[in-house]
Structure 1
C-alpha cells in the first residue's frame, strides 16, 4: 500500500501543473517585473489557479496594432499616464469592473474607468552630495536653473515630458497652475538651461549611470532609481519639494479573450498590504494610501505618494499630452538638435 501511495505521489509531482487559465501581463521588465511576479502574480496563481506570464515592454504602437488586428497577445498592460490617456481616446482598453474593490483610500488619479494604478513614481530635483553637502544643494527647480549659485553640468530626461513642467516651476508657476502648459514659456525657460545640460538620459538605468559616473552634478532624475544607487554608496540625494509625479495604470486590452481573469488579477493588486510590499520592493509610492499602514515610516517618507511629499507635487496630466503630445515632441526634438 505504501509503495502504491508513493508511486501515485511521485507521478503527481512529476506531472506538469495544469492551470485553469493563463493571462499575459505586459510591463517594464527587469527587477520591476520580478516584483510583479513575487507580490502579485505568484500569490494570485496560488489563490485562483490562473497562471500569470509577465513580458515587456508595453509599446503603444504594439498595443494599438493588437487591438486593430484582434490578435491580442497581452491581456493586461501597464501604460504610462500619457499612453493611458491616448489609449482611452483611441479605444484600446476594456472598461474596468472594480466591483468589490474598496477604492476610497486610493489617490484620486489612481482610479479610472479603464485603469487602476498600483504605483506612482516621480522626477525629482537631484544632486551629488560630494559637490554640495546634503541639505545644501538645489532644493527646487529654480535652484537647478540657477547656475550661478549651483554651477556644474546638468542631467535631464530626454523627453519634453516632465521637463516642461520643471521649466515652468523654475519660472515661478505654482504647481496647481502648470496645466494647460504654456509651451512657449516653457521652451524659453529651457533655453536658459540648455548650455549646461551635459546629458539627456533615456531610461532609469542610464540615469543611474549618469550620476554614478559623475557626468552631472544636479538635474532631474527618478527618485526610486536614485535611492537604489544611494544605498550602494553613490553620493546622491533627491528633494521631494516640487516633485513631478507620474503613474502607470493596469488596463485590459480591448478584445482580450481572458477579460474575466484579467479583471480578477487587477482587483487582486488593489489590496493595501500587497501594494505596500510592492512599493517597498520598487521604491515607488503606492496608489492605495492605506498601504502606508504597513510601510515603516523611514521608508514611507521617501516615497512619492507620502502625504507630505504630495503637498507641492505636480501630477502629470495625461489628457493634456494626449491632445498636444505629438506637436510638443516634434518641437522638443528640433530644440535638442539646435
Structure 2
C-alpha cells in the first residue's frame, strides 16, 4: 500500500494552529533564502518525477498525526497520489509566494494568511465546479472564497480553571470577565498585536454587539482593557503559554484557543470552556498559483472537503468541520446542545480578516505604546 509521506522541515512558531501573517521580508533577502528554507522538504520532493505527488504545507505535530489515518492515507490509497508534508510559518509562506516559488502546491493555514498570499498574487482560483468528491453546496457560501476554501473552524473562547472556579459559576460573557469586583483574580489574554481578539472581547465587554464590532474602535477597546490591566498577568503570545497559565492556576481565567483548551482537558487538566461570545476563525486550503502539481492539488482539496473525509477526521479530534454534512460527526463538546449546531455558529462571531489584514500594523504600533502607558 502506498502511504502518505510525512517528511517535514523544521517548524517555526506554533505547530498546533495556523500561523498569523507577519510583515514580509524584503525581496532581495527572500530569493537568497529560498534554498535554505526548503532544504529538508527538498529531500522528500526530489523523487517527485517518479510518481504522482502533492506537496502540502501544514501546521505539523498533532495536526498531521490526527489526519494521517483519517485523511492522508485514504487519499493516497484512493487516488495514487503521495502526500509530501512541509512546514513553513506565515512569513516564509508569504516570502515564497512573492518570489513565485513552486515548491508548495497546497497551503493549509488560516484564512488571514491565505488572504495575504492572495494579495501577493500567489493563489490560483478554486475550481468548485470541477469537484468530484465534494458537493460545493455542502460548504457555507462564506467559506467558498474564489481563491481559498475553508475546511474547519477554530475559536478563541473563555477558559477557566475548575479547581479554582466551580463550573456554572464562571463568567458567562466578556462583560463578566472584565468585572474584577464580581470575579476577582488573575487573568490572561492574547497579545492583540498578533491579530488575536483581545480588542474584540474588550469592545463586547463595553457593550458593542458582536455583529457591530468592525471596524474596530481601537481606542475604545484599549480604554476598556485598561480597566483590568492590573489583573492581566500576561498577554500571551503562544498557545503553549496560554494553556500553562490556565492549567497551573496562575491565571484561572484565560482567553485562549479551543484547540489548546481541549488538548489540556483531554489530558485530565482541571479546565473547562465557556463558549458564549467566542470568536471563530477559519483554517483553509489555498492552491499555489505556481504549483508544480496543480492537478493533484485540486484533487487533494476536493477530497479533503468532502463530507465523508471530514466525517472520518472528526472522530476523536477537536476540529470543527466546514462541511455541513459532517457536523454530526464532530465531538458533542463542540456542539451547542440547544441547537445541535457548532458553538462557533450558535454563540460566536466570525473574525474579519480583511480588517485585520489592513490594520494589523496600526494595532501593533498602538499596542506598543499602550503597554508602556
TM range (shorter): 0.7 to 0.9
What corresponds to 1:11 in structure 2? none
Q: How many residues align?
A: 320
Residues 238-277 of structure 1 deviation map (CA, whole Å, 9 limit, x = unaligned)? 1111011111211112211111111110000111132133
* Structure 2 unaligned regions, length at least 5: 1-46
Q: Secondary structure at the match of 1:126?
A: strand
C-alpha separation between the residues in 1 aligned to 2:371 and 2:308? 43
Q: In 2 relative to 1, CA 197–277 (structure 1 residues): closer, same or farther, beyond 3 Å? A: farther
Q: Secondary structure at the match of 1:54?
A: strand
What corresponds to 1:306 in structure 2? 341
Q: In 2 relative to 1, CA 174–244 (structure 1 residues): closer, same or farther, beyond 3 Å? A: same
Note the aligned Cα RMSD (angstroms).
2.3
- The 8 Å contact of residues 126 and 236 in structure 1, kept in 2 or not, is answered as yes
What corresponds to 1:279 in structure 2? 314
* Aligned with 2:191 (options 143, 147, 158): 158
C-alpha separation between the residues in 2 aligned to 1:245 and 1:298? 16
Q: TM-score scaled by structure 2?
A: 0.80
Residues 126-160 of structure 1 deviation map (CA, whole Å, 9 limit, x = unaligned)? 11112221011111111111111111111111234
What corresponds to 1:243 in structure 2? 278
Shift of 1:308: 5.3
Shift of 1:309: 4.7
- The 8 Å contact of residues 63 and 253 in structure 1, kept in 2 or not, is answered as no
Q: In 2 relative to 1, CA 64–17 (structure 1 residues): closer, same or farther, beyond 3 Å? A: closer
Q: Does 1:319 align with 2:350?
A: no
Matches within 5 A, 1:83-232: 83-98=113-128, 99-100=130-131, 101-160=134-193, 161=195, 162-232=197-267
Residues 213-237 of structure 1 deviation map (CA, whole Å, 9 limit, x = unaligned)? 2120102011222122223222111
Shift of 1:56: 1.9
* Aligned with 1:49 (options 71, 80, 84): 80
Residues 100-131 of structure 1 deviation map (CA, whole Å, 9 limit, x = unaligned)? 33122323332111111111010111111122
- The 8 Å contact of residues 321 and 330 in structure 2, kept in 1 or not, is answered as no
- The 8 Å contact of residues 118 and 249 in structure 1, kept in 2 or not, is answered as yes
Q: TM-score scaled by structure 1?
A: 0.87
Q: In 2 relative to 1, CA 182–288 (structure 1 residues): closer, same or farther, beyond 3 Å? A: same
C-alpha separation between the residues in 2 aligned to 1:24 and 1:194? 45
- The 8 Å contact of residues 55 and 105 in structure 2, kept in 1 or not, is answered as yes
C-alpha separation between the residues in 2 aligned to 1:306 and 1:38? 26
Q: Does 1:252 align with 2:282?
A: no
Residues 270-315 of structure 1 deviation map (CA, whole Å, 9 limit, x = unaligned)? 111321332344312111121023346456449xx93455233111
- The 8 Å contact of residues 315 and 331 in structure 2, kept in 1 or not, is answered as no
* Structure 1 unaligned regions, length at least 5: 1-15
Matches within 5 A, 1:73-84: 73-84=103-114
Q: In 2 relative to 1, CA 193–257 (structure 1 residues): closer, same or farther, beyond 3 Å? A: same
Q: Does 1:31 align with 2:62?
A: yes
What corresponds to 2:15 in structure 1? none
C-alpha separation between the residues in 2 aligned to 1:85 and 1:18? 31
What corresponds to 2:9 in structure 1? none
C-alpha separation between the residues in 2 aligned to 1:31 and 1:211? 21
C-alpha separation between the residues in 1 aligned to 2:224 and 2:331? 39
Larger Rg: 1
Higher relative contact order (CA 8 A, sep 6+): 1
C-alpha separation between the residues in 2 aligned to 1:281 and 1:330? 41
Q: Secondary structure at the match of 1:104?
A: helix
- Larger mean CA deviation between 144-153 and 106-115 belongs to 106-115
Q: In 2 relative to 1, CA 120–299 (structure 1 residues): closer, same or farther, beyond 3 Å? A: closer
Q: In 2 relative to 1, CA 184–17 (structure 1 residues): closer, same or farther, beyond 3 Å? A: closer
Q: In 2 relative to 1, CA 64–279 (structure 1 residues): closer, same or farther, beyond 3 Å? A: same
C-alpha separation between the residues in 2 aligned to 1:151 and 1:280? 38
